[in-house]
Structure 1
Amino acid sequence: MSIVVTGATGELGRRVVERLLVTVPAEEITAVVRSEEKAAPLAARGVEIRVADYDRPETLTGVFRAGERVLLVSGSEVGKRVPQHTAVIEAAKAAGVAQLAYTGVLGGPGADFRLADEHKATEQLILDSGLPYTFLRNGWYTENYTANLAPVLEHGTVVANAGDGRVASATRADYAAAAAAVLTGEGHLGAVYELSGDVAWSLAEYADAVAAAAGREITYSDVPAATHQEILVGAGVPEGFAAILVDVDEAIRRGLLAGTSGDLARLIGRPTTPMAETVAAAVSAAVPAA
């Protein structure tokens, strides 16, 4: 069995490879990356490295082999992902891979927020290709919040326009473990998994978790969408991406990221990582010990 992970040096892809290395011989794992230099640590562990770029379809020609199980980790550049993913899908089809797993978004066709559009389009492209597929519809990453702790700790406020909406998040490590399970297990072809954390939490509860970990008062400020957009742009977030983040908050307000199907916990064989645990670790890393 040969398993291929695209985007293998990214935040999710590298965690998938690390998880695979626990149970799969390194020589049966291939990492598709843009930078061979960045992938050197994986090569040193015996992982095969193939260099290709989503933005250069010609580099994907021949990058896959017949019978391989492939994980297409979605690109990170919003607005460019459909042509990028199309190039990967066409290369996988030409090679005759045995499985194409794709990391989409929670809710699939029912996700009506802008960030989901390219994921829905990609799923349809995969269906149209006729390839054996598995859809891994990932919910929100807890790290999407903890990566932005500095201004929260500085100002003592979590700012969003999500209202009382709830988020059933999990860690990237949780989602990576699910992907590894699907790539190494049987019975997943044609399956669609709605992946999310076991518990959906509100932004007010997130603020409370940060406060408990930091030992200081942290509040949640729910602001109008237009106000949040202005705040993000003022903090240096590009206007287009700020609009996407604001739109996601509106989706949270509507309950679109609160689903708790249990698929993620079943795939990884354990409960998902609690939000407060991830927050505590992030705060500990962000705040120097006294």
Structure 2
Amino acid sequence: MTSDDGHTDAAPRQARAIVIGGGIGGLTAALALHRTGWHVTVLERATALAPVGAGIALAPNAQRALDVVGLGDEIRSLAAWEGDGGLRTPAGRWLSRADPQRASERFGGTLVLLHRATLVGKLAAGLPDGAVRTATEGRLVDPGDPADPARPARVATPDGDLTAELVVGADGVRSAVRGALFPTHPGATYAGFTTWRLLVPPPARPFAPHETWGPGRLWGTHPFADGTVYAYAAAVTPAGGRAPDGDERAELRRLFGGWHHPVPAILDAAEPDGVLRHDVHDLADPLPAFHRGRVALLGDAAHAMAPTL
């Protein structure tokens, strides 16, 4: 017997999952589901899988998650391993030094560093052709009922409604899926500081990765495996701020230009339009649950936290 959608009793339809959000978390969830036999559709409203940000550091637990989806060894081979480094003052004095050996013994590994785009590309490549639909916004209409096989979750798209046994809301800190599940929750609020991120070419003088703490300010610098330097900064500022004339590199020079080497050199090497600035938001009020019906929240949609935690 054949149903209206072409499936037969002898070959039951695959369980269907819809992932709303094509970032690192959403793609990892999609790949994990695909590898366990689910039919997965990823809905990403952006026109391409172009991750916001420059670099990402993966702790050993995150690397183990990539092991589950078959990418751990490949990502480790492409990444730079966090070596000797530590915490410094703005004048350059070392407050503490990292010990990769002890970190590996305690946590089962050390941080690895790579471009976000590299990780997103590898995750997307593991999915079937057509599984990721870009320029497609998904809106949760009905969370469904896992106790009722006749009531799947329903997601509206510009091309019509989709139904699934599972929906994963991986749509970030301003999650619309979270808002649909918990409409009375206040949502994300400003965490009190803003961040900048940038990439620069390999420097003439090598240096150890480090993070530097000053009053109300923070700077971090980490080389990638190809020598490119990933740098990030944070400062306590009012929400919604922008540099005069839009020159965020000049703003960073004002805030950090007098700090120790290699901070000024990195700022000199940065392209003026290559500096990303974003306010940091978190969920100060925790959600009552990370799921409802057939819908589960993931990542910032579920528990957005400041990166300083």
For the criterion TM > 0.5, the same-fold answer is no
**TM-score, scaled relative to structure 1:** 0.30
**TM-score, scaled relative to structure 2:** 0.29
Give the helix-richer structure, 1 or 2.
1
Determine which structure has more spread, i.e. the larger CA radius of gyration. 2
Give the strand-richer structure, 1 or 2.
2
